[in-house]
Amino acid sequence: MHRLIICLLLISVIGCSETKEKSIKIVCCRQACFHEKQERVFSGIINPFSVANLSFRVKGTIANFSVMVGAHLQKGEEVATLEQRDYKNELSQKEADLLETEAIFKKTRAAFHRCLDLYEVETISLEELEEAKMEYESSKARVIASKNRLDLAVLHLSDTILCSPIDGVVASKKVEVGENIKIGQVITTIYSDGPMKVEVFVPEKLVSKIHLGQRVDVEFSALPGKVHFAHVIEVGTNTSGTAYPVVCEMLDKISNVFPGMSAEVKWVHQEEKFFPEIPLSALLQEGGETFIYLLVPLEEKPWYGVVFKKKISIGELTGDGVTILEGLKCGEIVVTRGLKAIEEGEVVKMRLET
């Protein structure tokens, strides 16, 4: 139907006189083009790849805590120690208890074996044998319990020495020498040494386009103008409002960049399906629907054309406008300015925009 109208309009336009050209309106136009790739930028925060909050498994008084904030530590390196006197005394007591219970066990075992021999020759009763057996088994159980208490005392003494579980940097110290600490009380925080990660929140409409292993560009506010590379290692499923957490690991170690600093993460990806893109100024809203004006050039006067209105379906916003899902083909000429001054079927002079 549109083609028939256009043909009739073109025939009528050809017969127009030259005097009418002076009243022809001028509109800005643009040829619809493909939007082949999307570039998205999100703000994020730099974090260490792993964080270790260190605490003692036993209570006590800090005896040594000489590491300084900013110091580099290797895995297994000593960080702090507690006063060991009470734990050494406990260990000595458990060792003495074990020696005593083992001595009693040896006596009850020997007594039980004697009772077995006497019972075989009917010198003692069954009740006396059972009593000797109970004392033997009881002393044996006490030896096992004493060994367990000794092992626990050894463990408690070893727990007075706190070592770094990772290669990293001391980020903070929360106590000083001489302070009494509780079990599980954090005394220092260590950040892993090496590449860091950047955490951003991505809108729900875009998170499906991000996949694990995807490479991204990262710029740090502390290092303006320098682009670094990272790859996606985690796409969260727990939403924060209308956005999802995405974690990117830096591909190399960067100096002068520290946890808590801001960063910009840039995604550049190809669309699965290409759609024409036009500026927002080309859209016309009427009755809750969206239209555009298309221009068909005249054959003998290519800078003039007939405009007609067409309903469209819009897609996502882009950096230059909006994608058109239905109603527009690549290469068609769209009126971008002066929409309110023209009517369908009108002949206009076009001024192409780049």
CATH of the domain at 186: 2.40.50.100
Domain boundary among 192, 211, 246: 192
113-172 pLDDT, tens per residue?
999 989 888 888 899 989 999 999 999 999 999 999 999 999 999 999 999 999 999 999
Q: In this structure, are 80 and 164 located in the same domain?
A: yes
Please state, in angstroms and as integers, the Cα–Cα distance from residue 159 to each residue in 44, 47, 101, 156, following that order.
Answer: 39, 29, 26, 5
Quick one: pLDDT at residue 254?
84
CATH for 235: 2.40.30.170
Q: For residue 204, what pLDDT band results from cuts at 50, 70 and 90? A: confident
65 lies in the same domain as 187:
yes
Range of the domain at 134: 89-158
Q: How confident is the model at residue 274 (pLDDT cuts 50, 70, 90)?
A: low
Alpha helices, DSSP H, located in the chain:
2-14, 85-120, 126-158, 204-207
What is the per-residue pLDDT for 270?
A: 54
Percent of the chain at pLDDT exceeding 70 = 89
The count of structural domains within the chain is 4
Whole-number Å distance between alpha carbons of 230 and 250: 4
Structure-block tokens of residue 104 = 């009693």
Is 212 found in the same domain as 101? no
What backbone phi and psi angles, to 5 degrees, belong to 348? Answer: -135, 165
Note whether 240 and 340 are same-domain residues.
no
Q: Residue 13 has what pLDDT?
A: 44
pLDDT at residue 323, as a whole number: 85
Domain boundary among 235, 270, 305: 270
pTM, two decimals, is 0.59
Nearest to 3 by CA among 292, 291, 284, 296: 296
Lowest pLDDT segment from 6-10, 98-102, 218-222, 276-280: 6-10
Residues 67 and 188 in one domain: yes
